[in-house]
Chain A
Amino acid sequence: GNSVTQMEGPVTLSEEAFLTINCTYTATGYPSLFWYVQYPGEGLQLLLKATKADDKGSNKGFEATYRKETTSFHLEKGSVQVSDSAVYFCALSDEGSGYSTLTFGKGTMLLVSP
């Protein structure tokens, strides 16, 4: 079945450092890929998405490129802020019967210090 593997955290960075959170996936067909973010005490919210190979999703300075050849969707940001501290989830869609469900990775906690 489908699965998503993320690097384990926590990832600890200083403010303005470069961020990479690795995500690889296993899927049949051509799934869409997503990054969700969860701030403390809140539900998840969509950060960015890509629906086909070589697409780049971007939002709030974060970027991720859908790499079919390496089955990866790594999240990057050039300069992190303390406010980026959160848990980040990589996910893929399971298409079927006209509707979709998401398979999530286990999440990667990011801690950014001033």
Chain B
Amino acid sequence: DAGITQSPRHKVTETGTPVTLRCHQTENHRYMYWYRQDPGHGLRLIHYSYGVKDTDKGEVSDGYSVSRSKTEDFLLTLESATSSQTSVYFCAISETSGELFFGEGSRLTVL
């Protein structure tokens, strides 16, 4: 299994609070991604990174920011969480085109 660790795995928070999800990899893969999974929507890309300090927006980036200061870590931050951001968040990594390896997911509930 690819060495991808997401933390926390579960979090409950209140509307308006900041939240940071962490993705840590031990594979030294160049590309890292954050997706959210919601019923009826499948997986949607939030942000991705193609190198240290190199990031770009996906299709649902509003309300989210990311940072990648080291190859192995990719942080997803919700500056002020809203109920619409209740979801399961998946980190993924890749080295070659298209073959993504996924973490086990982080379930976030915003009350």
Contact = CB atoms under 8 A, between A and B. Distances in A.
B interface, over-half SS:
strand
A79 interface: no
A49 interface: yes
Interface in A31-82: 32, 34, 36, 41-46, 49, 51
A104 B97 contact: no
A44 B98 contact: no
Contacts of A34: 98-99
A44 B90 contact: yes
B43 A93 contact: no
A97 B92 CA distance: 19
A interface, over-half SS:
strand
A102 interface: yes
Interface stretch (B12-20, B68-76, B101-109): B101-109
Contacts of A95: 97
Interface in A83-114: 89, 93, 95, 97-107
Given A42-B104, A49-B98, A101 B45 contact: yes
A101 B48 contact: yes
A101 B58 CA distance: 9
Interface of A: 32, 34, 36, 41-46, 49, 51, 89, 93, 95, 97-107
User: What are the 6 A-B residue pairs with the smallest beta carbon separation, nearest first?
Assistant: A43-B102, A106-B42, A104-B43, A93-B98, A100-B97, A44-B102
Interface of B: 4, 30-31, 33, 35, 40-45, 48, 50, 58, 90, 92, 94, 97-105
